Structure 1
Amino acid sequence: MEFKMKDVGFYTETANGRLNIAGNEEYGFRPYQLLVSSIAVCSGGVLRTILEKMRFTIEDIHIKADVERNEEIANRVERIHLHFTIKGKDLDENKLNKAMELTKKNCSMVQSVIGSIEVEETFEIVEG
């Protein structure tokens, strides 16, 4: 990837278009937002794949990410709590617990921050 400077922040061109990144939300995504998004969406994608392999019919997965930052240490991201609301038919809580364990093991973004950022993943089931 290449990043080019603009008046405020930087940008990169991707296959999906231009991605603007800046410390000020008015000019692009903030770096911590991209970090949290990467972790959340990677986990969601891995979870979806695992649930499909388990032959669950999933209608929707909604992810809420709560972030704790340490203002005293460069506003560092210290903890991310991902809460998945999973909508589908005949979902088994025990099998979903196993799927969540596999998700954490197989998400490259979560594995990349282990030891630096605490990532907690919880879920709730909504019958579809």
Structure 2
Amino acid sequence: MECTIRWVPDAGMAMVAETGSGHLLTMDGAPDGGGRNLAPRPMETLLAGAGGCTAYDVVLILKRGRHDVTDCRLKLEAERAPSDPKVFTRIHMHFVVSGRNLPEAAVARAIALSHEKYCSATVMLGKTAEISTSHEIVAV
């Protein structure tokens, strides 16, 4: 896996990442740090990536179990250390999984498997942050 980051000087502190798969991602800083608030902060992008990674796992695990999942939403709330390096110290993930006849045990198991085994991003962030999860199921 690779990624190339390029600073965009005309945009203050904006950065453009080109991923190994050829996609572009723009990041920016807060105005008090020289940014112009034109895009997500790098740490927001890191948190979003972890959320995407674990939500992907949960949907895939449920689909492979032949469960009729129709939607998955994930709200992440994170706290960071007060001083540099301001690593994540706590992350809470609340899943809202929708579908037809989704068993509680299957949803809980999918979240646990992602959190404990499959999601590289959350396993890595778990080295500095206490990660907790909760979920609710919405029948459709």
Question: TM-score, with normalisation over the residues of structure 1?
Answer: 0.88
Match 1:12 to one of 17, 35, 40: 17
Q: How many corresponding residue pairs?
A: 127
> Corresponding residue for 2:28?
22
Partner amino acid, structure 1, of 2:45? L
Query: How far apart, CA to CA, are the structure 2 residues paired with 1:101 and 1:107?
Result: 10
Q: How does 1:1-128 map to 2 (within 5 A)?
A: 1-7=3-9, 8-9=12-13, 10-14=15-19, 15-16=22-23, 18-24=24-30, 26-104=37-115, 105-128=117-140
State the structure with bigger RCO (CA 8 A, min sep 6), 1 or 2: 1
Q: Can you give the 5+ residue segments of structure 2 that lack an aligned partner in the other structure?
A: 31-35
Q: Is residue 49–residue 121 contact of structure 2 (8 Å, CA) maintained in 1?
A: yes
Identical columns (%)? 25
Q: Is residue 70–residue 98 contact of structure 2 (8 Å, CA) maintained in 1?
A: yes
Partner amino acid, structure 2, of 1:72? S
Structure 1 consecutive aligned stretches of length 4 or more whose deviation exceeds 4 Å:
none
CA RMSD of aligned residues (A): 1.7
- Per the TM alignment, residue 75 of structure 1 is displaced from its structure 2 partner at its CA by 3.5
